[in-house]
Amino acid sequence: MSTITTATLLKMKQDGQKFTAITAYDATFAKLFDDEGAHVLLIGDSLGMVLQGGSDTLAVTMDEMTYHTRCVARGTTQALVVTDMPFMSYATPEQTYQNAARLMAAGARMVKVEGGDWLCDTIRHLTRNGVPVCGHLGLTPQSVHVFGGFKVQGRDEFQAQEIYRQALCLQDAGIQLLVLECVPTALAERITKALRIPVIGIGAGPTTDGQILVMHDAFGITSGYVPKFTKNFLAETGDMRAAVRLYVQQVSEGSFPGPEHCFS
């Protein structure tokens, strides 16, 4: 597999080929995922939950995201490295530019921000200054307290229309990827077909261009609540490398996610 870029993922979307993303937080797992064919590695602020034991992602700092980005980048030769900008790290333009620059200098090739059309000016300025941006709509974990918990978004018609509208706005502002999290399959399909850019789903059904899982969920080692949209690939293989290969294979052939992993 050659080096993955946003152009690679766009070509895959155009050709109807599914791609696979997974979270990574250190060099060792990054190399494993890279070797086994993952197309995108996300340094997620999910580390606040799966590494630090928090109940949400809000306490994660820029220093922590920069550190883990540097670690993952050192273990990656092919996959596209994307890093979450943590909670309140992009609240003002000046703050956004400084923090995005730190993550890019640490080895990210794209940054991810959560939210809708209020971020459009920020996205335009980032892309104008050479920072590729991934958007994130649906269940955006940094807004968990606004939502009143980790809940499926877009089930009523008004909310679905808003998510659809915001996806188009973010695309027009310049994002090159979009993550849709915990939305009904029909809404995710509608957005994926409407956008020119690749769409990555997590709890968004099988019709998005790519899929992403938190690595701990893919290995079945998440403590506490296990989300409906996850699958324990390690249980089926008994080997971490084989588990990642199976994940990549099932995304590619369209057998994951199955109906049991989807929301209506």
According to the annotation, is 253 in a ligand binding site? no
Whole-number Å distance between alpha carbons of 110 and 100: 9
Nearest C-alpha neighbor of 178 from the set 210, 154, 213, 144: 210
According to the annotation, is 45 in a ligand binding site? yes
According to the annotation, is 156 in a ligand binding site? no
- Token digits for 239? 């080997």
Tally of CB atoms within 10 A around 130: 9
Whole-number Å distance between alpha carbons of 23 and 256: 17
According to the annotation, is 26 in a ligand binding site? no
**DSSP code per residue over 228-243:** TT---HHHHHSSHHHH
Which CA distances in Å does 17 have to 8, 39, 180, 228?
11, 12, 18, 25
Catalytic residue numbers? 181
Please measure the distance between the N-terminal and C-terminal CA atoms of the chain and give it in whole angstroms.
35
Binding-site residues from annotation for Mg(2+): 45, 84, 114
Binding-site residues from annotation for 3-methyl-2-oxobutanoate: 45-46, 84, 112
